[in-house]
Each structure stands twice: as structure tokens, then as C-alpha cells.
Amino acid sequence: MRDDIIRIEDRGEFGLAHRYVFGLNLFNYNRVPCPIERRPDVVFLARLTERRVCAAQVAALFLKDHVDTPEEMFGAPAGPDAETPYHEARHVGFYDGFFDLQGGIPFTGRMVEGEWVPDDEPRYGDCFFPRVTPAFWRAVEREEGSLDQLLFCHGLVLYVGPTAPDAGERMARLLDAPFSTEETFLRAVADLYAVAPLVGHDGQFFHAYARDAANFTLLDAALADAVRVVEESDWYRANRDRLAWSKVRDACLMLHG
């Protein structure tokens, strides 16, 4: 795996292994023209869910900007007609970190007589998908630009490698349990899944939590797929000598000169 295309940093937090992956946003931030499915950040997510058993959490903050109800994007949550079954979480939300949904979705509200009034209660919660399938990605991409927005608003968590057959059911219950702290929640997640990759701020990076740093090897094959997409691109081959890491804003290779 080319360490000049992505950079990996390990930082412990909450008594858990915590890994950052920088650089997969370089096509997006350099405005490289390509289909979104060929962007390295999207390739990483798609290949990961193909290679590993994964669950997912989609933020209500993302959904509110696209649909009035989750059913408009994902269809029925359960039953024989459910294309990609999901559970609507009522207590634990995600928005660049985990928070108590009972306090309302951040930055949501309405204008009343020219004044901003925050929502007293969320219209709906985050959506938890016990198993990510190709139908999940088709649903997210149904509206043009929605997948890009999902990453930009850091509205996605994957839960990779369930530790027990009932991990999905237990995860759904955890998302419905009263939220105390992010540390308590993530330590409980680490008991249910080997790795939990999160989309970082504005889609600039990914980071992941695990009980043991050895679990991060579950991400390696998908990361290698994403790096390969970059290496094989005409844009990278033509510009690699003009690329340098941006240390301040983008946390990826940027075109200079």
C-alpha cells in the first residue's frame, strides 16, 4: 500500500485503539473529474462492505436535507417488501461524533415569523442497517449528489465484523438505550463489532475504533483497493510529481504549481 497516497496515524482514545486514515479525499478536494463510484473514498467504503460483513448508521442530519421521512430514501424498514431493512434509532445519533438524539438533531428547526426556532424533538432518528448490501448503496445514490453529501456532512458509520450472530439486534438496542457519554457508547460498540470506521469532518478523513489495534487489518484490503484506483488513474500518473501533502486544510495530496 502506497504510504505517499494515504497516511495512517494511530492514537489511543477511550481505552480503545483509534486509527486515522488521511488522503482518500484527494480526488474530491482536487476536483478530479470521475464518476463518484471511482473516487477513492467511495471505493474504500464500497469495497469494505463487499469484503466484510458490515452494519451501518446513517445520520438523521443527512436525511433531513433530502427526505421528509426515511422511507422516501430507503423504503419500508421491515417486512417482506423491505429492500434494505433498517431500524430507526431514537437515542444515539451520529454527526462527526455520537450524541444524544433526545436533545434534537443539531442545526434543525424552522423559521417562525422571521426567527429561527429549534425543533423541540427530531422528526425521526438515525437509521441503523444491520447488514449493508448493494441495495443500501443504490438507495443512498438514488438522488444525484446524495452520496457525496452523506460523506461531506460526516453522516455515516460502518460497524465491521460482528462478534456474535445477534450483534445487529444488540446494536439496535444500544442505539435505543439512553445515551450517557461517547466513551461509554464506543466501548459498548467495541464489544459488538471488531472495527467501527467513521467518516471524519467534512469527509476529509476516516477514523476507526477497535478493542484491539490488530482488528484494523480488516480494513487493509479495502484501503488497498482505494489506493489502486488512485495509482491507476490518468490524473495521478500525469500529476504525481506536482502533488504535495496539505498540512493545514485538506489532509491529503493537493496539486501545486
Quote the pLDDT of residue 249.
Answer: 56
Quote the pLDDT of residue 80.
Answer: 79
Report the domain count for the chain. Answer: 1
State pLDDT tens for residues 192-202: 999 999 998 87
Query: Which residues 6+ apart lie within 8 Å of 237 measured at CB?
Result: none
Quote the pLDDT of residue 12.
Answer: 81
Identify whether 2 is part of a domain. Answer: no
Q: How is residue 257 annotated by DSSP?
A: -
Identify whether 238 is part of a domain. Answer: yes
User: Which residues of the chain carry a pLDDT beneath 70?
Assistant: 1-3, 103-123, 248-250, 257
Quote the pLDDT of residue 150.
Answer: 86
Identify whether 124 is part of a domain. Answer: yes
Burial 147-175 (b: 16+ CB within 10 A, else e): bbebbbbbbbbbbbbbeeeebbeebbebb
If one counts every other C-beta atom within 10 angstroms of the C-beta of residue 143, the result is: 13
Identify whether 1 is part of a domain. Answer: no
| Residues 101/60, Cβ–Cβ less than 8 Å | yes
Quote the pLDDT of residue 1.
Answer: 42
Quote the pLDDT of residue 144.
Answer: 78
Identify whether 58 is part of a domain. Answer: yes
Residue pointed to by grid coordinates 436535507: 65
DSSP string covering 9-73, please? EE--BTTBEEEEEE-TTHHHHTT----GGGSHHHHHHHHHHHHS-EEEEE-HHHHTTT-SSTHHH
Which residue range(s) make up the domain with 169? 7-255
Identify whether 195 is part of a domain. Answer: yes
Quote the pLDDT of residue 109.
Answer: 57
Residue 124's φ and ψ, nearest 5 degrees, are -160, 170
